[in-house]
């Protein structure tokens, strides 16, 4: 911090920022697309709607962002929620089957009621998860596995094993409609993210969540009602998944109990990790998670645009994810870049910014972690 | 030079953390066959220097010379390979494995991929024998007391340095507060081993907060203060008072003043009344009255039920029997919340596992208890929060005085102060301090004790637990003596009460 050169210290502060690596990876991924799709960054107007790759990435990434934002809080408490994919399916199934039973599928009141019903079911799922984890003391991964497996069955029951298709204009708006030239789902995501940030950072909820995840016993001994907080967080996570479920079923105008939100829990966990929140709990970053979810969606888009054969695209995705995770690891960076750079530049007084950044950051981040483990 | 060549020489060592210069231009040397004490207050840079030497932290400046050759130590493994072995305060071994397995773990002698168990046990037994220890190497480590486990850790670290016979052998052995949880006999056992290793030419770097131990076993000492080198002295040339003055940078006498403040035992009304409070397996039912402004010290051996008593009064464990009234109101004690609501605060003896949230900042850790009592919907207004935090950082002299610093990076004494600040901010009526001065240096110890006295004068009641009887005696109006998980006596403090009388009570279980 006492470096003489201001550009160096500014650069250092920038690379130390918790969003630096996720954003860097996102930008890199976006740039990879340009040689394959020269007009990748262009956004054009047609029929009063904005179109373009960037818009589609956000549009298709919306459900993932929602699920990942809820997952972030659960992970911050030291837990995990595997049931979100099933909750997506249940919510969509319930909402669509209610709408399909109406005479007038386009009636706003019916649609609102359907959405309310779906979200209520989601919140009940969250309450169940929270109850098992916080009250019964069951390990989160096991507790949420129950709904992950059983939830799809429930969704099938609701839809009688069929794919329910509906034809409802108001319902279509959530996941497939446009407002002010932009896809409506972008506004939904923006609202949820804003509410989450306000809820965690404008109140003390964020601090208490981080305390519970960072040291559960210490939190109990300072009088934090950690059970209540955990239940709330699982409910919130399920609510986010529920909104994502409405969005997905609205986008296709159909409820598919089998495939809606399939494996979204894994993408969401990945997004949270890429966003810089530790799976051990404690510090979390909603902004990081949003970037993380965009990274994953961009990756999916990129796989299609650069023409990776379909049968290998999961392997390709896995490879990129490994690289991203390695880049984020301070230890890895120190090993690959740090030692070399540090040795070379330390002798010259460490004036070069790149050298000054990698090593000290890595050392201070890595060192306390060793004590913990 | 008349002196022999040092085995280890560190020159101009610099280590910086964000916002803190932990070491600036520190020189340090270590000669073969000596026991060298590294002295300084908490936060003076002792641990940092050791971590730089063992490769846990990277250097920001300076050189390390080992056996006349300049070395770069980038990891703990490299340090071991270079012949620098370390044993930390906490024993990092596997209690469920045998002593022999622990000594050789990760480096078992193998033939064609199979572990040669007989050879492993034989070699372990030889090692243990050579060092004059009487340990059955095939018994599980957990069957031995902590002190023996510590010795096994030393044996293991010596053997690590030796490698597979290719390595240079251990030249430097670092013992970071190995004695803090040992009793007197166990300490002597450790010292015997240290002297034996010294005769074999090993250079030992010894860190301890017990000055008497330093004077008993060490030859030379290096004193650090605020990350800078104060001086290097032969132990025989510097007396304890001189040493403490060097460490603190100011004259002593603080602790003596306490006696003057003391004994103004005109405590007020009853604040806490416990009747028949007890918990099976924890502590037998006891009655205890704590008056307003009274300091009650708990004396007793480790495991005598001191902590268990404190935890019941805080609701950290739930009592099976009895009741507690605080300020005339019955408190159920089914959870810490109940006690906190009634104005009780509790600083656990386990700072790391039960106190701090290491990933959070100093500020967040300080406001945690107050925020928890307000609930999540009512955050403390930013201006008020910053003012409170700044006030307590200043009042308790928490270093670095940076509310954004991560608490995990602070030294032990400063972490303890953060915990104190966390509870003082809630303005409790009863403050329970369980071993608040353990593992922290004499300067911080004196500050915390002075704080207890002034809090008591302001009318706060304090339940004070400490292993050192002098400390309990110095601070308390009333001394509760525990033995075998039973509160056996409550003694009003006075001029005629001495540590030996307390010891008698602990030994006999009754107070004459």
ipTM score for this prediction: 0.81
Which residues does A109 contact at the CB level (< 8 Å), separation at least 6?
Answer: none
Backbone torsion region of residue B55, taken as left when φ is above 0, otherwise alpha when ψ lies between -120 and 50, otherwise beta: left
B372 Cβ under 8 Å from any chain A Cβ: yes
Which residues does A26 contact at the CB level (< 8 Å), separation at least 6?
Answer: A291, A294, A295, A298
Q: What is the pLDDT of residues A150-193, one digit of tens each?
A: 999 999 999 988 899 999 989 999 888 888 888 999 999 999 99
Cα Dmax for chain B = 77
Q: Cβ–Cβ of B57/A2 closer than 8 Å?
A: no
Under DSSP, is residue A283 helix (H, G, I), strand (E, B) or coil?
Answer: coil
A227 Cβ under 8 Å from any chain B Cβ: no
pLDDT computed for residue B250 by the predictor = 56
Which residues does A238 contact at the CB level (< 8 Å), separation at least 6?
Answer: A70, A81, A83, A84, A87, A122, A123, A125, A126, A127, A129
A205 Cβ under 8 Å from any chain B Cβ: yes
Q: Which of A338, A314, A261 is nearest to A87 (CA)?
A: A261
Q: Cβ–Cβ of B57/A339 closer than 8 Å?
A: no
Q: What is the pLDDT of residues B179-237, one digit of tens each?
A: 766 777 778 888 988 998 898 889 999 988 777 888 899 999 999 988 889 889 998 88
Mutate to test the interface with B, among A222, A225, A284, A334 (most CBs of B within 10 A): A222
Which residues does B463 contact at the CB level (< 8 Å), separation at least 6?
Answer: B290, B296, B298, B310, B313, B430, B431, B432, B433
* Cα torsion through B430, A214, A129, A172, rounded to 10: 120
Mutate to test the interface with A, among B64, B76, B347, B359 (most CBs of A within 10 A): B359
Q: Cβ–Cβ of B371/A364 closer than 8 Å?
A: no
First to last CA, chain B: 63
Q: Which domains does chain A have, with CATH numbers?
A: 49-317 (1.10.3470)
For a pLDDT cut of 70, what percent of chain A falls above it? Answer: 89
Residue B324 bridge partners (DSSP): B274, B331
Task: Tell me which CATH code domain B268-343+429-512 carries.
Answer: 3.40.50.300
Whether A70 shows a pLDDT value over 90: the answer reads: yes
Least CB–CB distance from B56: residue in A224, A367, A372: A367
Residues of A (310-369) whose Cβ lies below 8 Å from B: 339, 342, 359-360, 363-364, 367-368
Residues of B (115-134) whose Cβ lies below 8 Å from A: none
φ/ψ (deg, to 5) at A21: -70, -45
Cβ contacts of A207 on chain B, cutoff 8 Å: 360, 364, 367-368, 371, 379
pLDDT computed for residue A5 by the predictor = 58
Q: Which CATH fold topology does B8-252 show? A: Rossmann fold (3.40.50)
DSSP A31-62: HHHTTTSTTTT--EEETTEEESHHHHHHHHHH
Q: What is the pLDDT of residues A253-305, one digit of tens each?
A: 999 988 899 989 999 999 999 898 988 899 999 999 999 999 999 998 888 88
| Stretch(es) of chain B classified as CATH 3.40.50.300 | 8-252, 268-343+429-512
DSSP type of residue B235: G
Q: What is the pLDDT of residues B451-467, one digit of tens each?
A: 999 899 888 999 999 87
Q: What is the distance in angstroms between the Cα of B428 and the nearest Cα belonging to chain A? A: 12
Q: Cβ–Cβ of B359/A210 closer than 8 Å?
A: yes
On whether the CB atoms of residues B465 and B309 are closer than 8 A, the answer is: no
Q: Cβ–Cβ of A207/B371 closer than 8 Å?
A: yes
Residues of B (323-352) whose Cβ lies below 8 Å from A: 335-337, 340-341, 346, 348
Residues of B (34-93) whose Cβ lies below 8 Å from A: 51, 56-58, 60, 74
**Residue entry with tokens 């599928």:** A105
Q: Which of B274, B338, B374, B303 is nearest to A221 (CA)?
A: B338
Q: Cβ–Cβ of B337/A208 closer than 8 Å?
A: no
**Residue entry with tokens 């960037």:** A54
């Amino acid at each position: 911090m006492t470096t003489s050169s201001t550009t160096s210290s500014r650069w250092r502060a920038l690379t130390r920022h918790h969003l630096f690596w996720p954003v860097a990876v996102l930008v890199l991924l976006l740039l990879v697309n340009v040689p394959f799709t020269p007009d990748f960054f262009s956004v054009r107007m047609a029929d009063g709607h904005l179109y373009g790759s960037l818009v589609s990435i956000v549009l298709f990434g919306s459900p993932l962002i929602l699920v990942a934002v809820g997952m972030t809080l659960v992970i911050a408490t030291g837990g995990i929620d595997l049931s979100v994919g099933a909750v997506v399916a249940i919510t969509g199934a319930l909402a669509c089957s209610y709408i399909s039973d109406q005479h007038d599928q386009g009636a706003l009141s019916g649609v609102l009621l359907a959405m309310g019903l779906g979200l209520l079911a989601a919140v009940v799922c969250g309450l169940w998860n929270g109850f098992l984890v916080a009250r019964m003391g069951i390990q989160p991964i096991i507790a949420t596995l129950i709904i992950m497996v059983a939830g799809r069955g429930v969704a099938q029951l609701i839809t009688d094993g069929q794919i329910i298709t509906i034809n409802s204009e108001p319902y279509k708006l959530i996941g497939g409609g446009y407002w002010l030239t932009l896809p409506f789902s972008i506004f939904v995501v923006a609202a949820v993210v804003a509410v989450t940030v306000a809820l965690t950072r404008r109140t003390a909820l964020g601090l208490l969540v981080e305390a519970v995840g960072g040291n559960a016993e210490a939190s109990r001994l300072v009088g934090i009602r950690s059970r209540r907080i955990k239940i709330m967080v699982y409910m919130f996570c399920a609510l986010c998944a529920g909104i994502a479920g409405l969005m997905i079923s609205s986008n296709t105008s159909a409820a598919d109990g089998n495939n809606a939100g399939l494996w979204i829990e894994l993408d969401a966990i990945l997004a949270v990790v890429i966003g810089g929140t530790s799976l051990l709990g404690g510090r979390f970053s909603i902004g990081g998670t949003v970037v993380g979810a965009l990274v994953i969606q961009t990756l999916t888009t990129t796989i299609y645009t650069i023409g990776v054969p379909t049968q290998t695209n999961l392997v390709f995705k896995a490879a990129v994810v490994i690289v991203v995770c390695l880049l984020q690891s301070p230890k890895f960076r120190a090993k690959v870049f740090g030692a070399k750079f540090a040795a070379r530049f330390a002798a010259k007084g460490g004036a070069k910014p790149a050298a000054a950044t990698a090593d000290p950051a890595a050392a201070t981040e890595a060192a306390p972690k060793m004590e913990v483990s | 030079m008349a002196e022999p060549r040092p085995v280890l020489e560190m020159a101009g060592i610099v280590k910086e953390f964000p916002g803190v210069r932990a070491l600036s231009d520190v020189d340090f040397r270590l000669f073969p066959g000596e026991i060298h004490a590294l002295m300084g207050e908490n936060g003076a840079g002792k641990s940092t220097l050791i971590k730089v030497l063992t490769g846990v932290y990277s250097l920001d400046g300076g050189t390390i010379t080992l056996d006349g050759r300049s070395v770069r130590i980038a990891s703990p493994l490299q340090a071991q390979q270079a012949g620098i072995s370390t044993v930390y305060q906490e024993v990092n071994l596997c209690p469920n494995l045998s002593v022999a397995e622990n000594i050789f773990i990760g480096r078992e002698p193998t033939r064609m991929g199979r572990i040669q168990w007989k050879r492993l046990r034989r070699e372990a037994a030889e090692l243990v024998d050579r060092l004059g220890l009487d340990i059955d190497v095939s018994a599980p480590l957990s069957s031995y007391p902590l002190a023996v486990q510590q010795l096994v850790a030393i044996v293991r670290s010596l053997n690590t340095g030796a490698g597979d016979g290719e390595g240079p052998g251990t030249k430097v052995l670092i013992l970071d507060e190995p004695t803090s949880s040992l009793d007197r006999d166990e300490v002597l056992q450790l010292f015997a081993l240290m002297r034996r290793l010294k005769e074999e030419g090993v250079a030992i770097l010894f860190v301890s907060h017990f000055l008497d131990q330093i004077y008993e076993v060490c030859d030379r000492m290096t004193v650090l203060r605020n990350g800078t080198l104060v001086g290097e002295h032969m132990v025989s040339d510097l007396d304890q008072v001189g040493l403490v003055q060097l460490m603190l940078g100011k004259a002593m006498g603080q602790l003596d003043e306490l006696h003057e403040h003391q004994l103004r035992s005109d405590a007020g009304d009853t604040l806490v009344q416990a009747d028949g409070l007890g918990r099976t397996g924890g502590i037998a039912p006891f009655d205890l009255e704590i008056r307003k402004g009274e300091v009650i010290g708990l004396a007793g051996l480790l495991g005598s039920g001191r902590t268990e008593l404190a935890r019941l009064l805080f609701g950290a464990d739930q009592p099976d029997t009895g009741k507690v009234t605080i300020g005339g109101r019955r408190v159920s004690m089914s959870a810490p919340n109940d006690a906190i609501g009634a104005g009780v605060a509790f600083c656990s003896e386990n700072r790391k596992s039960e106190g701090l949230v290491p990933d959070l900042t100093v500020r967040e850790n300080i406001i945690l208890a107050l925020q928890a009592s307000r609930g999540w919907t009512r955050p403390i207004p930013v201006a008020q929060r910053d003012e409170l935090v700044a006030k307590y950082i200043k009042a308790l002299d928490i270093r670095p005085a940076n509310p954004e610093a991560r608490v995990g990076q602070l030294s032990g004494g400063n972490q303890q102060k953060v915990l104190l600040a966390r509870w003082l901010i809630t303005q409790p009526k009863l403050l329970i301090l369980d071993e608040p001065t353990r593992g922290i240096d004499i300067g911080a110890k004196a500050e915390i004790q002075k704080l207890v006295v002034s809090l008591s004068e302001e009318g706060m009641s304090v339940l004070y637990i400490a292993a050192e009887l002098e400390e309990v005696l110095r601070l308390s109006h009333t001394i509760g003596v525990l033995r075998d998980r039973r509160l056996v006596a409550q003694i009003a403090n006075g001029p005629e009460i001495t540590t030996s009388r307390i010891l008698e009570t602990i030994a006999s279980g009754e107070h004459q």
